[in-house]
Amino acid sequence: MGLKIQNGRIIDAANKLDFVGDIYTQDGKIGAFNDAPLNFQTDDIIDATNQVVCAGFIDLSVRPQNIAKEAVVAASSGVTSFCVQPDIKPIIDTPEVVKHLKDSAKAAQVHFIGALTQKLDGHELSSMLSLKQAGCIAVSNGNFPVKNLLILRRAMEYAASHDLVFIYRPNEFSLSNGGCAHEGAVSTRYGLPSIPEAAETIALEQCLELAELTGCRVHFGQLSSKRAVIKLQQAKKYGLNVTADVSMHQLHLSENDMIPFDSNYHVLPPFRSVEDRNFLRTGLLNGTIDAICSDHQPHFLDAKLAAFPETKAGISSLETLLPLLLNLVTENVIDLAQGLALLNANPAKILNLNTGSLAIDSPADICIFNPNLEWCVDSENWHSEGINTPFWNQTVKGRVTKTIQAGKVIF
């Protein structure tokens, strides 16, 4: 049994597909294009006229308060797989926590990232092998510091020995010093504790040196600065096995867009200069940055009510992932096929998943969206419990109409 999706624009950069036609799913997998596979029986026919059909999105960074509820939000956003960062409550540092979260998630598309150190305190390594055996897809420090370079080296050696993806958000803790805004004109004008660009670039440089020393495969999460992109580009040029992603909001907003003391603009890493933002876009175009994530962090209202530096960092961003991608296409930063690959094929490659494309016999994880449908970011159209977004009440273009996972419509 299967689905027929007809008359859609089928785009899959991984297999160089871009045509208007039909796609068939069978037994939870991609079955055929245009002509039905042998012995095909349909459960349903989906008309995708004037819509785009692509592989479902894979989000590399999500920090949900309630995994089961945010899995529904993910499905409504075209996301068929997402990775939960270790720095949630409870911290993902033991197999028991992984099992508990799996039981509570009640969603097949959730992957868990294990903590590098116990309680993420940066001192004592977690049992990475046990975390992998429990189902963790990678290990990471989240937004927490690793206390010294010897611990970081040992963690990378441990991850490399068990073939675990090592995800590292570069941030030199002593330099960032609890800051909440980019060290620049805006933080100076409003007296906000600042985070210099060097906090990211120094930590990244150190990790690159250790990657070469240990042979660990490193993925850098949520880059935010021009100099970090340049350093990563040089490392790739000389053959280092590294990849990186950027949060979608970092590609659109800079420190100049911040409304003073509006905590919806409080993110980590902080919004940096216009030059940094533009160079992140260049990094996408030249392949230095491999993927885009939402870095979805929904917060309840009280988490954003204090003074700006005392509020929780993060944006509720799953539901604006597609519209903001389409903005990049409209602004000619990237083309549509490139943009979709940054959300599906490339993250799948980073995580060694067999999803992220529309290849025959691959899992039928599919997103169907109307690129021209306008909607307002407001309470009538919003699914997440967190409404902490700087795009609230803005009209955006691009809306997911169907999300299919393993051949079943989940939204």
36 with 68, same domain?
no
Q: Given this model, what pLDDT does residue 281 score?
A: 98
Average pLDDT over residues 116-122: 95
9 with 148, same domain?
no
On the question of pLDDT at 45 being above 70, the answer is yes
Position 339 in a domain: yes
288 with 153, same domain?
yes
253 with 383, same domain?
no
Give the domain extent around 233.
56-351
d(CA 264, CA 128): 35
Q: pLDDT confidence of 108, banded at 50, 70, 90?
A: low
255 with 403, same domain?
no
**Whole-prediction pTM:** 0.97
SS (HEC) of 275-340: HHHHHHHHHHHCCCCCEEECCECCCCHHHHCCCHHHCCCCECCHHHHHHHHHHHHHCCCCCHHHHH
d(CA 395, CA 388): 16
Nearest-5° Cα angle at 9, 246 to 31 = 95
Q: Given this model, what pLDDT does residue 109 score?
A: 87
Position 356 in a domain: no
Pairing type for strands 110-115 and 42-47 reads unpaired
Q: Given this model, what pLDDT does residue 38 score?
A: 87
Residue percentage of the chain with pLDDT more than 90: 96
Position 205 in a domain: yes
Q: Given this model, what pLDDT does residue 151 score?
A: 96
- The CATH number linked to 223 is 3.20.20.140
Average pLDDT over residues 162-167: 96
In the chain, the number of structural domains is 2
On the question of pLDDT at 406 being above 80, the answer is yes
Position 357 in a domain: no
374 with 338, same domain?
no
Kind and range of the H or E element at 364?
Answer: none
d(CA 220, CA 248): 15
Q: Given this model, what pLDDT does residue 253 score?
A: 98
46 with 160, same domain?
no
Position 291 in a domain: yes
Position 131 in a domain: yes
The string of DSSP letters for 232-286 reads HHHHHHTT--EEEEEEGGGGT--GGGPPTT-GGG--SSPP--HHHHHHHHHHHHT
d(CA 264, CA 258): 9
Determine whether 361 is an active site residue: no
Which of 312, 332, 351 finishes a domain? 351
22 with 66, same domain?
no
Catalytic residue among 295, 361, 365, 378: 295
pLDDT in tens, 329-356: 999 999 999 999 999 999 999 999 999 9
Q: Given this model, what pLDDT does residue 39 score?
A: 87
- The CATH number linked to 381 is 2.30.40.10
pLDDT in tens, 259-272: 989 999 999 999 99
Name the average pLDDT for the chain: 96
On the question of pLDDT at 107 being above 90, the answer is no
Which of 328, 351, 374 finishes a domain? 351
Average pLDDT over residues 101-111: 85
Position 106 in a domain: yes
Query: Taking Cα atoms as reference points, which of 204, 192, 331 lies closest to residue 270?
Result: 192
396 with 279, same domain?
no
Q: Given this model, what pLDDT does residue 267 score?
A: 98
Position 372 in a domain: yes
Q: Given this model, what pLDDT does residue 211 score?
A: 97
On the question of pLDDT at 147 being above 90, the answer is no
373 with 396, same domain?
yes
Average pLDDT over residues 364-372: 98
337 with 317, same domain?
yes
Which of 329, 351, 373 finishes a domain? 351
335 with 195, same domain?
yes
pLDDT in tens, 271-316: 999 999 999 999 999 999 999 999 999 999 999 999 999 999 999 9
Average pLDDT over residues 44-63: 98
CB 403 within 8 A of CB 74: no
Average pLDDT over residues 86-103: 96
